[in-house]
Chains A and B, each alone.
Chain A
Amino acid sequence: EVRLLESGGGFVQPGGSLRLSCAASGFTFSNYVMTWVRQAPGKGLEWVTAISPDGGDTNYADSVKGRFTISRDNSKNTLYLQMNTLRAEDTAVYYCANIGGSGSMRDYWGQGTLVTVSS
């Protein structure tokens, strides 16, 4: 059974930093593109960033470029999102998902972790 479990969300002041983690199980993590998607309260989904299976290729939405960094540790089956210089508009539920690549165990989503940026 594929499981994606996000953690690390919480309350942070504007300008602060936070690191999210996504623990993966049930599939060969190192073979899959991994993605972070966020959803602000009452709003739609926003694609944030994705990383290739070996970690060598990353892409970012313009809204987070230069502030967020995606990374992965294939030895720990874990995906990360380092979020710096946080703004109020970064407040959202952050989901990890193995969408956007190939493989038979693709296109699963975690349950999300809430990040609140407020003073």
Chain B
Amino acid sequence: QAVVTQEPSLTVSPGGTVILTCGSSTGAVTSGQWPYWFQQKPGQAPRTLIYDTSYKHSWTPARFSGSLLGGKAALTLAGAQPEDEAEYYCLLSYAGARVFGGGTKLTVL
């Protein structure tokens, strides 16, 4: 089973920009792996932010965006807000099965 890697933790200043990445043990992440990004706050269910690399839902704040960057999937947060402090998970597809990354704990400080 493939391993999906994320930064364990990142810190961003309020109003700042941060990029979270999602790599794959099998090589470069492609759009065909339908990358997802989820946000989870303590005690809550996850919430989907980004699907299929870069598509947003109606509830996704405009400051979040998804892309492929340097062989990885990337989640960019531009203009961080205190309420963005949370755990972020990516999810990649591998021929039907899917694998989550270990998550990135984002601190806004």
A residues near B, CB below 8 A? 35, 37, 44-47, 50, 57, 59-62, 95, 97, 99-100, 106-112
Contact = CB atoms under 8 A, between A and B. Distances in A.
B98 interface: yes
Interface stretch (B46-54, B62-70, B75-83): B46-54
Given A37-B100, A45-B46, A62-B1, 8 more contacts: A37-B46, A44-B89, A44-B102, A60-B97, A61-B97, A61-B99, A107-B57, A109-B47
Contacts, number: 56
B93 A100 contact: yes
A112 B100 CA distance: 17
Interface residues of B, number: 23
B41 to A, nearest CB: 13
Given A60-B97, A100-B93, A45 B45 contact: no
A81 to B, nearest CB: 16
A35 B100 CA distance: 13
Contacts of B46: 37, 45, 95, 97, 109
Contacts of A108: 48
Contacts of B22: none
17 contacts: A45-B46, A45-B100, A47-B91, A47-B100, A50-B98, A59-B97, A61-B99, A62-B1, A95-B45, A99-B51, A100-B93, A106-B51, A107-B36, A107-B57, A109-B45, A109-B46, A111-B45
